[in-house]
Amino acid sequence: MYRITILALLVGSASFAWAQEDALTLPASTVSAVAPESGDATGINLDKSIESGTRLNLSARENPASVSVADRATMERLGVRNFQDAANALPGVNASAPPGHGGYVAFRGFNGAQIGQLFNGINLQYGASARPVGAWIYDRVELLGGPSSFLNGSGAVGGSLNYITKLASRETDSLEGRVSYSRYDTWETAIGLNQALNKGDGARHYVRLDYSRTHTNGYIDRQENGAGNLAFSLLSDINDQLSHTLAIEYLEEKEDSPYWGTPVFQPLLGKLHIDRRNRFNNYNVEDGRYEQRTRWLRSITDYRLNDATQLRNTFYHYKGQRDYRNLERYRYNTDNTEVIRSAAYRQRHEQEMNGNRIELTHTGTMFGLSSDWAFGLEYSRNQQANYPLSISSDFDTVDPNGFDPGRFLDIPGMDASRTKGRSTRNDTSSAFIENRTRLTDQLALVTALRYDHLDFEVLEHATRTELDRRWDAFTGRVGLIYDLTNSVSLYTQYSTSAEPPGGALTSASVGQVSDFDLGSGRQFELGTKFNFLDGRGSATAAAYRIVRKNITVPSSTVPNTTEQAGQQTSTGIELAASFKITPQLLAAGNVAWVRAEYDDFNETVSGVVISRKGKNPVNIPDRVANLWLTYDLTPDWQVGADARYVSSVYANTANSMWVPSYTVYGMFLKHDLDVHTELSARLRNLTDETYARFIHQSNTQYYLGEPRSLEVAVQWRY
């Protein structure tokens, strides 16, 4: 019997008439700055708009797709520390942050660049940009399941995660803060302010400022990390029709001796094991380093022509710089007595993205039927340059029971001057349209169509090899949603996607794109969303099948290269539910099953072509589940427990090596000192489980999860 049973999961076209009225109302802000008033924080709100699933302002119930959200109240109740923790609370998501794969997400049988990760609806098309940082500045994390190119552009065959920042709000003035401390000298200090700058007639202005500072010595030896995260926004209501939001974000992060993983015992076959006695060893050099500095600027202009029609323009700018300096690969010798260290790597990434998106939404009628429209145009330029220096050969052999880690410049050849390796430029021009038409009072048709033109250039500076390629992609979706009753809806959907070769064009080499066309994906999904027992409970269920063609996959034999795979299929089921068992006891959970396998993939190993048909992709769990229980002892005291299960994953495309499943438990206690202040204590990994959140494919190294830890925190709001 699988350990998943421990969780006891509870989750069983093209003209229109313009309409016009006198009253003009500006759109409401969506920031969640107020503390949750009850234990409903982990519940499912089917009637709240989720912008990541559509531009038509549809609620989860109205959208013929699997959409879910971890809002601010949920994040606080679950004690998430970064936006990736929040993503892991959503059905079927398995996210982690191993170096080299900083924003790794597996979902619906896919991973890496096959899962779109957006910041306020903007896709940077580079996995490392989604390295998790502190959750304080984020208002919510939203998830759209399945191909979503129709909404977000090329990519995202498995789904899209959208990390949404807090913005200035008209609703209320507030001052909030948080201080926490936990094991490994881990602490956070954070403050947030929302304030109206003026009152009365004329233009009105509202400002919001959020800042957090985090530090930890890390649960791995010598892995110290510090980060500061700032978000500022100014909302200006110019008049009754026009408003503008200026949003700025800045992040600095520095990590010493990043942990690249724990080597597994030889031979590399079957269930992989590590030496638990040395599981916290850091085999990186003493002065290993990861640093990043990023900034965001958004200028959002909203103009309401009338009650039925609104225009929005979003200009965005992003700039990021990341530096790596590490010794990354470790393996045991044949008798597992010593560890061989290799793969010295120094890298700098410089990325800049600028773009503009204009959207027009209209609510009206078509052929006598209620019909909502969204139209848009978007252009962006995404540029990146890297400065690599790598030596794959062995550096030394050390005794895991005690060794001198050495310094980076001890590695011969790593003192060379920095030179530019590759530059890429990706210009994307897009046009999109969405529509929701009510065919009857109970039945609605939702459609979308998008065109993307990709103009890509890459230059390999060492060889002066240059390539210029262009692709065109049409993607879309057709969905029907039927309201069986006021509380129960059924839906079905067909959607498509297109993705560039090489995964992400920002970091693609000439060899990864020269001979490849766009990959494609299609999904058929059906599901239901409903409330039950007079609203005490809510649930969603989805079944899907995704077929992805003309794909590239990471080579399991040659590091940092890709191979052609003809087709992959993923079939799965996702369930989520929340239920107020009693007025004091809330239970919530989700579970996802997926079968992902290659239908057509011939891999060359030592000169021999081997079919991987029927094999599972690497690092894809076929079962992921979460469970939360929250009990209100009194109005001022709350306790809770949680569990997370992730099934075993394969470590190679031959499926001859695998990593065990794991279940992690937690508990919390919270006390409201008064209406403004709360104290909390949270115990993570209650049983001190040793588990791998990720397995490095080419390195065959465990990336271990955090051991047991206790966190205490005080949070206040005025």
pLDDT digits (tens, 9 = 90+) for 223-247: 999 999 999 999 999 999 999 999 9
pLDDT for res 8:
33
Residue 387 identity? Y
- DSSP states along 204-247: EEEEEEEEEEEEE--SSTT--EEEEEEEEEEEEE-SSSEEEEEE
Q: Say which residues have a Cβ less than 8 Å from residue 267's Cβ, sequence separation at least 6.
A: none
Question: Are the C-beta atoms of 82 and 134 separated by less than 8 Å?
Answer: yes
The residue length of the chain stands at: 718
* 121-135, 174-188, 288-302, 313-327: range with lowest mean pLDDT: 121-135
* pLDDT range class, residue 556, cuts 50, 70, 90: low
Residue 10 has pLDDT above 60, yes or no: no
Q: Which strand (E) or helix (H) includes residue 551? A: strand 537-554
More confident residue, 655 or 36: 655
pLDDT for res 28:
40
* 89-98, 561-570, 709-718: range with lowest mean pLDDT: 561-570
**Pairing of β 159-165 and β 138-145:** antiparallel
Interval 668-678 mean pLDDT: 96
pLDDT for res 36:
39
**Locus of tokens 């494919």:** 697
Question: Are the C-beta atoms of 515 and 504 separated by less than 8 Å?
Answer: no
CA–CA gap between residue 169 and residue 26 (Å, rounded): 12
The count of other CB atoms within 10 Å of the CB of residue 401 is 11
pLDDT digits (tens, 9 = 90+) for 58-98: 999 999 999 999 999 999 999 999 999 999 999 999 999 88
Helix (H, G, I), strand (E, B) or coil at 259: coil
pLDDT for res 559:
56
Question: Are the C-beta atoms of 115 and 107 separated by less than 8 Å?
Answer: yes
Q: How far is CA 562 from the centre of its chain?
A: 23
pLDDT for res 32:
40
Q: How far is CA 266 from the centre of its chain?
A: 34
pLDDT digits (tens, 9 = 90+) for 48-59: 888 888 999 999
More confident residue, 529 or 201: 529
Question: Are the C-beta atoms of 436 and 56 separated by less than 8 Å?
Answer: yes
* pLDDT range class, residue 33, cuts 50, 70, 90: very low
Q: What are the angstrom distances between the C-alpha of 85 and each of 79, 105, 109, 138, 382?
A: 9, 11, 19, 12, 28
Q: Supply 263's token pair.
A: 């080597």
* 208-212, 366-370, 609-613, 694-698: range with lowest mean pLDDT: 694-698
Residue 16 has pLDDT above 70, yes or no: no
Residue 673 has pLDDT above 70, yes or no: yes
pLDDT for res 172:
85
pLDDT digits (tens, 9 = 90+) for 308-337: 999 999 999 999 999 999 999 999 999 999
CA–CA gap between residue 294 and residue 227 (Å, rounded): 12
pLDDT digits (tens, 9 = 90+) for 586-599: 999 999 999 999 99
Residue 554 has pLDDT above 70, yes or no: no
Bridge partners, 302 (sequence order)? 243, 312
Helix (H, G, I), strand (E, B) or coil at 468: strand
Q: Supply 360's token pair.
A: 């027009």
* 39-43, 79-83, 346-350, 375-379: range with lowest mean pLDDT: 39-43
- DSSP states along 182-194: ETTTEEEEEEEEE
Residue 626 has pLDDT above 90, yes or no: yes
pLDDT for res 164:
96
Residue 298 has pLDDT above 60, yes or no: yes
Question: Are the C-beta atoms of 295 and 664 separated by less than 8 Å?
Answer: no
Long-range (24+ apart) CB contacts under 8 A made by 261-264 are 261/98, 261/330, 261/696, 261/699, 261/701, 261/702, 261/703, 261/704, 262/330, 262/701, 262/702, 262/703, 262/704, 263/330, 263/331, 263/332, 263/339, 263/700, 263/701, 263/702, 264/332, 264/700, 264/701, 264/702
% the chain with pLDDT above 70: 92
pLDDT for res 519:
84
Question: Are the C-beta atoms of 69 and 141 separated by less than 8 Å?
Answer: yes
pLDDT for res 555:
60
* 342-356, 382-396, 547-561, 571-585: range with lowest mean pLDDT: 547-561
CA–CA gap between residue 216 and residue 184 (Å, rounded): 6
Domains with residue ranges and CATH for the chain: 3-19+39-155+166-717 (2.40.170.20)
Q: Supply 132's token pair.
A: 């998790």
Could you tell me if residue 607 is left (phi over 0), alpha (psi between -120 and 50 degrees) or otherwise beta? left
User: 591, 581, 680: which is closest to 627 by C-alpha?
Assistant: 591
User: 287, 288, 183, 292: which is closest to 228 by C-alpha?
Assistant: 292
pLDDT for res 184:
95
pLDDT for res 86:
95
Report the chain's mean pLDDT, rounded to a whole number: 90
Interval 572-596 mean pLDDT: 96
Interval 450-478 mean pLDDT: 93
Helix (H, G, I), strand (E, B) or coil at 41: helix
Residue 208 has pLDDT above 50, yes or no: yes
Question: Are the C-beta atoms of 77 and 42 separated by less than 8 Å?
Answer: yes
pLDDT digits (tens, 9 = 90+) for 406-452: 999 999 999 999 999 999 999 999 999 999 999 999 999 999 999 99
User: 238, 316, 312: which is closest to 55 by C-alpha?
Assistant: 312
Q: In what order do the strands lie in the sheet with 104-107?
A: 94-96, 104-107, 110-111
pLDDT for res 11:
32
Q: Say which residues have a Cβ less than 8 Å from residue 451's Cβ, sequence separation at least 6.
A: 430, 431, 432, 472, 473, 474
Q: In what order do the strands lie in the sheet with 701-704?
A: 262-263, 701-704, 692-696
Q: Which strand (E) or helix (H) includes residue 107? A: strand 104-107
* pLDDT range class, residue 564, cuts 50, 70, 90: low
% the chain with pLDDT above 90: 78
Q: In what order do the strands lie in the sheet with 649-650?
A: 270-271, 657-659, 649-650
Q: Supply 606's token pair.
A: 């030592």
Question: Are the C-beta atoms of 518 and 471 separated by less than 8 Å?
Answer: yes
pLDDT for res 711:
97
Q: What is the DSSP letter of 581?
A: S
Residue 560 has pLDDT above 90, yes or no: no
Residue 37 has pLDDT above 50, yes or no: no
